[in-house]
Structure 1
Amino acid sequence: MKTTKYIIIILVSIVLTGCTRDNFLDFQPKGQVIPSKVEEFRALLDQVEPDPNVNFTQGFGTHHDFTIIASDNYLLTEQVRASFGISPEEINLYLFKEQISTENGDDNNWIRYYNQIYVANVVLEGLKTVENGTPEAIAEIRADASLQRAFAYFNLVNIYSVHYNPETADRDLGVPIREGIELEGSDFTRASVAGVYDLILNDINNNIDALPDLQPANLSFRPSKAGAYTFLARVLIYQAKYEEALKAVNKGLALKNNLRDINNDSADPRDANVLAYPLAVQDEQLIWFKDSGGFTIVTSPEFYSLYDDTDQRKKWFADAKTYFFAEIENPVFVAHRANNNTNVSLTTADLYLMRAECNARLGNIDAANNDLNTLRVNRFETGTYSPINITNQDNLIAFVKDEIRREKAMSTLRIFDIKRYNRFDNANITVTHSFNGETASLTPNSLNWALPIATNYIKANPEIEQNPRQ
């Protein structure tokens, strides 16, 4: 895919330095050509140049990866640091420090998502006076921008806030909401968690009908109806609205329901014992593409033990000594490395897992087992899979949670999931990390699950309240 580069100069140089009030969200272009036509707004959303390896742009396709480090799936040791190099920020996050970024440092997650929000707002504002285009084309671009904005806010509120709690969400600190493009005189006070979720749901529900049912494989960085329903179901599950989420899941599966049999995936060219994710354009279960990059992830023994020996997903991990020639004892997640296709996209596997979770929680035991078996038969070595039939509801819900971990291996969702399990299920999950003689824990429902905002931004904009620590 080719995009027109000239208009996108308005956003290529987007930065977020946080040094002064005027540039807290400093998206001022270095050389701007103001878009005014439908095709220019489309190019703005598709953004600049596709990655030559996967034929996808890196604008709205980019997704955070940093929070994996805080999860119970990840392991950091001195051998890992010696082999791969670990930044001070990564160590701070691993040990749940009061401040993650350095004193004057930026936060790439914050930058990434507010960049995306600003681009979406530029499009939404510009469409009010667009010079050409059919009503249908304008509505689709508006829907695209709105869904991308909602996705960015969803990640922001789940990174920097405590988990949604219906009893306190109208008082809990969310993140600053920016819906326009004017910055001068703006107030960046944090909205409530409820306020952010309301914006997310409005952006989805008010625009979903204007989207195409599906996107072509080489355009799956654009949202579709199937992608919007998948995203909507996730948002509703995070609010524990399981009946509503089930309706959204069913609408998504009505549009796309095919799964990839990973027995057909190719071996990693570096190690024949490793199964590589396919190129994103060849991934038949992909619905809405996102890319979290490719940093090296060493897995915790507890997480790796969740895989049966005939579970082909176990081949997503490599022996570090063979793959990297590194003196590391624990397996390393490498499935994403060969084809730059990470595990944060929205897929039909997500839909089956979410439907299984909703049905399990609603007491629809047979339906939940059926969806789990539909997924798992495509994950085990051909001819070896024995279907599950879990009749106890609590055991079934627990199995669904483990299956989400297995399928979404080393995904950024794990931290979000722990937060919601502790909030709604009293799951009592504590994450404990030890490194270089220091041990730290995140206890259930601790305020520290909301990551601290970089002091850089708070100094420049004192109305942004820092997350309290425990």
Structure 2
Amino acid sequence: MSTILKQRYLLFLGLSMLLSCRNSGFLDAKYDQSLVVPETLDDLQSLLDNDILINGAGNAGIVPSMGEVAADDYYMTNFGTLPTLMDKNLYTWDADPYAGVANVPDWNSPYRAIFYANLVLDGLDGIAHSAEQLGQYQEIKGTALFTRGHLFYQLLQVFAPPYAPAADMQAPGIVLRLGSDVGEHIQRSSIQACYEQVLADLNAAVDLLPVEQPYKTRPSKAAALALLARVHLTMQNYPEALRCADECLQLPVALLDYNLVDPSKTYPFTRFNQEVIYHSILIRASHLLVSRAIVDSVLYESFADNDLRKILYFKPSSGGRPGHSFNGSYDGTVSLFAGLTTAETYLIRAEAYARTGQLNPALQDINELRRHRVVAGSYIPVTANATTEILDSILTERRKELLFRGTRWPDLRRLNQDQDHAKPLQRIIDDKLYSLPPHSLNYTFPIPDNVIQFSPGMPQNPREDIHITNEQ
């Protein structure tokens, strides 16, 4: 590694240590033990194998959760269950969600991991490798590109306006940090440039990553294709979403038969189960804890009695609260899984088939997924003739399958652009009704105040007051 890169690495570590004195959660003990200046390919691989930093293992989380907090899959009965003003503001789509809080994990954690991905990419240029090490070199580069593309995409879903092909794609997106120079002046790139960078990173990763990995915290070729399919779905480029999803499903991936999952376990699903393509975790949010969030009752009742998700995803709420809590994380713990799965890829391919007029393959995909979700011997295939009917079935299945995985907010932002699927959101809490219309500015969260303050000229995302009425 060059002297300049060493200096950047040590400077970043010094800043991290300083911040950790103010915020004990900034650096985990396990993370501290890995603080070495990378000099070899193995050192660079070790940086990317830090599952706390890169995947959000344990209580850390890496995928922004504010969108999931603001989405419509759960509710709360009173503000007394929320510990801070920021928590309350996020839940009610307030124009000022952070309430003066400077440390916003949904921004800080992804960008910290992006720094390390960039450090690895910069470091690769200065580390010699033999012909025998070419495969390792390519895998490390592909992993770093995947990590950066993945987290740029996740940041775009909360800190940039929704991708809309007919809208102004030159509007400000996110900050594209493409190097490890911590002193570099930062600015927001256009939405179009941001998505182009995500696609460039992931397309390059597809060509570099191996077909299979020994650990699901490392991305594979299938992971890069699954994520590309998700990105193209968000961009409403359905032919490309179809291509990427189809290529992914030709690789060694599998669906999990829910008949084989033990519902008596505290957390029924095993971490790294056969359906997981890539493992990552949502940043911990007070709202989404099992002890607080109550699953939307209409959503819960939409699961048929022979649908095994009804007993594997949910358990009765505790503490005398009504309804049910979510208990179906693929992390196998209270932490919420936000990775990539074979099931999601089937859903993407099914929707892309339907939106490109290929109705029979769309039905085949949705039936293949559902067959793995119901009591053995009780499955009745979904049948439909009209595109709208098939599409509605797929979107309903998508919401039910991907609960609390960080996908609902991006889906709302995308589907709100279609008048047939746009949905106004409402919450009733402490005798007040809060309403969020489909095209509200509040579907985009503000850039954290401290980032704006230290970046002269950086535009802030506009927000608006929402409609509140008394329910007494």
> Structure 2 CA distance, aligned partners of 1:367 and 1:346?
22
Alignment of 1:2-13 (within 5 A): none
Contact preservation (8 Å) 1:240, 1:424: no
Which of 37, 41, 47 is equivalent to 1:38? 41
Amino acid at match of 1:348: T
> Structure 2 CA distance, aligned partners of 1:382 and 1:63?
34
Aligned match of 2:416: 422
Aligned match of 1:112: 109
Aligned match of 1:237: 233
Query: Secondary structure at the residue paired with 2:125?
Result: helix
> Structure 1 CA distance, aligned partners of 2:13 and 2:63?
18
> Structure 2 CA distance, aligned partners of 1:163 and 1:302?
27
Tell whether 2:431 aligns with 1:437: yes
Q: CA deviation at 1:30?
A: 12
Aligned match of 1:21: none
Amino acid at match of 2:372: N
> Structure 2 CA distance, aligned partners of 1:16 and 1:266?
46
Which of 314, 319, 325 is equivalent to 2:316? 319
1:317-339 Cα deviation digits (max 9, x unpaired): 1111xxx3x12112111123982
Instruction: Please report the TM-score for the alignment, with normalisation by the length of structure 2.
Output: 0.85
> Structure 2 CA distance, aligned partners of 1:259 and 1:153?
28
Instruction: Please report the TM-score for the alignment, with normalisation by the length of structure 1.
Output: 0.85
Tell whether 2:327 aligns with 1:334: yes
> Structure 1 CA distance, aligned partners of 2:427 and 2:52?
39
Q: CA deviation at 1:444?
A: 1.5
Contact preservation (8 Å) 1:47, 1:59: no
Alignment of 1:186-335 (within 5 A): 186-216=184-214, 219-270=215-266, 276-281=267-272, 283-292=273-282, 295-296=289-290, 297-315=293-311, 316-320=313-317, 324=318, 326-335=319-328
Contact preservation (8 Å) 1:124, 1:142: yes
> Structure 2 CA distance, aligned partners of 1:130 and 1:66?
39
Which segment is superposed worse, 66-75 or 84-93?
Answer: 84-93
Tell whether 2:383 aligns with 1:382: no
> Structure 2 CA distance, aligned partners of 1:48 and 1:93?
28
Q: CA deviation at 1:440?
A: 2.2
Contact preservation (8 Å) 1:299, 1:330: yes
Cα RMSD, aligned residues only: 2.8
Q: CA deviation at 1:343?
A: 3.7
Alignment of 1:19-30 (within 5 A): none
Query: Secondary structure at the residue paired with 1:280?
Result: coil
1:97-129 Cα deviation digits (max 9, x unpaired): 112223143111101110111110110111110
1:357-408 Cα deviation digits (max 9, x unpaired): 0111111111111111101011111222111111111111111111011100
Query: Secondary structure at the residue paired with 1:174?
Result: strand
Structure 1 pair 86–214 and aligned structure 2 pair: CA distance change class (3 A): farther
> Structure 2 CA distance, aligned partners of 1:165 and 1:88?
32
Aligned match of 2:27: none
> Structure 1 CA distance, aligned partners of 2:44 and 2:220?
17
Question: How many pairs are equivalent?
Answer: 434
Aligned match of 1:24: none
Which of 110, 123, 128 is equivalent to 1:126? 123
Query: Secondary structure at the residue paired with 2:417?
Result: helix
Structure 1 pair 277–203 and aligned structure 2 pair: CA distance change class (3 A): farther
Tell whether 2:452 aligns with 1:458: yes
Structure 1 pair 258–451 and aligned structure 2 pair: CA distance change class (3 A): same
Aligned match of 2:469: none
> Structure 2: any 5+ residue segments left out of the alignment?
1-8, 20-31, 465-472
> Structure 1 CA distance, aligned partners of 2:346 and 2:243?
13
Query: Secondary structure at the residue paired with 1:43?
Result: helix
Q: CA deviation at 1:445?
A: 2.1
> Structure 2 CA distance, aligned partners of 1:344 and 1:31?
25
Amino acid at match of 2:244: A
> Structure 2 CA distance, aligned partners of 1:58 and 1:177?
27
Structure 1 pair 305–463 and aligned structure 2 pair: CA distance change class (3 A): farther
> Structure 2 CA distance, aligned partners of 1:165 and 1:362?
18
Q: CA deviation at 1:48?
A: 6.9
> Structure 2 CA distance, aligned partners of 1:306 and 1:171?
40
Aligned match of 1:4: none
Structure 1 pair 61–75 and aligned structure 2 pair: CA distance change class (3 A): closer
> Structure 1 CA distance, aligned partners of 2:394 and 2:277?
21
Contact preservation (8 Å) 1:95, 1:434: no
Q: CA deviation at 1:280?
A: 1.7
Aligned match of 2:362: 368
Aligned match of 2:155: 156
Which segment is superposed worse, 69-78 or 34-43?
Answer: 69-78
Contact preservation (8 Å) 2:452, 2:458: yes
Contact preservation (8 Å) 1:16, 1:111: no
> Structure 1 CA distance, aligned partners of 2:129 and 2:376?
54
> Structure 2 CA distance, aligned partners of 1:15 and 1:366?
56
Which of 60, 83, 94 is equivalent to 1:97? 94
> Structure 1: any 5+ residue segments left out of the alignment?
1-7, 18-28, 271-275
Contact preservation (8 Å) 1:429, 1:443: yes
Query: Secondary structure at the residue paired with 1:267?
Result: coil
> Structure 1 CA distance, aligned partners of 2:277 and 2:260?
19
Amino acid at match of 2:100: E
Q: CA deviation at 1:171?
A: 1.9
Q: CA deviation at 1:69?
A: 1.8
